[in-house]
Amino acid sequence: MSYTGSAPASSSLYWKGMESSGDPHPPILAGAQNAWDMLSDEQSQKHITTGSGDLNNILGGGIHCKEVTEIGGVPGVGKTQLGIQLAINVQIPVEYGGLGGKAVYIDTEGSFMVERVYQIAEGCISDILEHFPHSHGKSSSGQKQLQPEHFLADIYYFRICSYTEQIAAINYLEKFLGEHKDVRIVIIDSVTFHFRQDFDDLALRTRVLSGLSLKLMKIAKAFNLAVVLLNQVTTKFTEGSFQLTLALGDSWSHSCTNRLILYWNGNDRYAYLDKSPSLPVASAPYAVTGKGVRDAASSNHKRVRVT
């Protein structure tokens, strides 16, 4: 795992932010950029932690801004959980090693349970306070931010009921993000649902989808934010047997920069980095606990009971 450099194996969620100066570069966008600048730009970028150190490691520190990341997996493996977790984690204040940004959550399936978001926000806050015990004595203004309500207020939620609305929402994002500059992540949960339900003309569907993915990439670059697309799985007949693969077909799979697949390996949830331009293929275990996405407990499968 040489790519992740000095990353400690697991434990600390916030190492990335603690190392860097804490002052993100202003986005440079006009025209081209030389590779050296791009490198230093990349190195100064903070990543959005997934909540699990192992998962961050295979992702090179977390979910990257300016990139489109697709996350797929079987029903119930934790796609929505990870999506919600990211919407919360992007808001970890800068002084605690986070991005201090806001989130846009585009819900096409109706699986966004706001009570669960509240729980995950509480879990995130309790972890922050655990990692930064000295901050208890800090001025009240810093503490004021660390309220679950505050986290919830910074998630912009769109409920999408048809593919037309989905196209409209993605088109409209550009304007919306222009008005809300502090949004650092856009999550679409899931990109698949309506396109699989209602779209009959598959050739047209492919073209419309590729138009959307181009727009999302453009948005990610222009507004310096992470785009996370959750995708469903489907079965595909290859080489004489049925296999699982992510939905929407082969041409769609070109449209994301990174692709992470969540799956069951024995008794554990694993994530597999299927595609990345800069990182090696790797997999890592993770767990979904009452507090949200965390490292898998090493030996036996303990979980935090939801109260």
Give me Rg for the CA atoms of the chain: 19
> Smallest gap, in angstroms, from Cβ of residue 128 to other proteins?
19
**Distance from C-alpha of 128 to C-alpha of 16, rounded to nearest angstrom:** 14
* CB nearer to other proteins: pick between 112 and 286: 112
* CB nearer to other proteins: pick between 2 and 267: 267
> Smallest gap, in angstroms, from Cβ of residue 264 to other proteins?
6
Specify the DSSP element, H or E, that contains 173: helix 163-179
Query: What residues contact 24, with CB distance under 8 A and at least 6 apart?
Result: 44, 45, 46, 99
**Which residue, 247, 233, 227, 246, is CA-closest to 187?**
227
> Smallest gap, in angstroms, from Cβ of residue 265 to other proteins?
8
* CB nearer to other proteins: pick between 36 and 242: 242
Cα 90 to Cα 87, 98, 125, 166, 278, distances in angstroms: 6, 7, 12, 23, 22
Query: What residues contact 178, with CB distance under 8 A and at least 6 apart?
Result: none
* CB nearer to other proteins: pick between 128 and 212: 212
> Smallest gap, in angstroms, from Cβ of residue 75 to other proteins?
4
> Smallest gap, in angstroms, from Cβ of residue 81 to other proteins?
7
Q: Are 275 and 259 in contact (CB under 8 A)?
A: yes
* CB nearer to other proteins: pick between 45 and 177: 177
